Structure 1
Amino acid sequence: MPSRTIAVAAALAAALALSACGKKGDPEFPPGTQFETVPNAQGKLEKRPKKPQRPFALDGLLN
């Protein structure tokens, strides 16, 4: 039983330690990203990265 308790405690500690990883804030886009200006829900303009126009394999069936 003690080894199981230690294993659960170690897994919990690892999960808590890894859940705190990361950077808070807006995502950083790669250099050369093209942006477009679109209105948001409040009517203000905001810049968003343009989404690539890649055809999806099932577009013919879905449209």
Structure 2
Amino acid sequence: MFHTADVFIEELKSLEHFGSDHFPIYAKFFINKKTAKQEHLTENLEEGEHEIVQEIIQEGINEKSDNRT
């Protein structure tokens, strides 16, 4: 899921397969300026985690799939 800093994702989870070639997900989000709730729920990456996240993203990009064009 792509989003910008203006979109706060409160909940993101995969759902049960329903027979489609699409990956079912549930996302609860809101578009808002920074709030106290966002500050409380936002988690910061620890040292070294940014590199791990970038590696996982790159693996996903490189992964072969019949569902991509």
TM-score, normalised to structure 2, is: 0.26
Structure with the larger helix share: 1
- Choose between structure 1 and 2 for higher RCO, CA contacts under 8 A separated by at least 6 residues: 2
TM-score, normalised to structure 1, is: 0.28
Higher Rg = 1
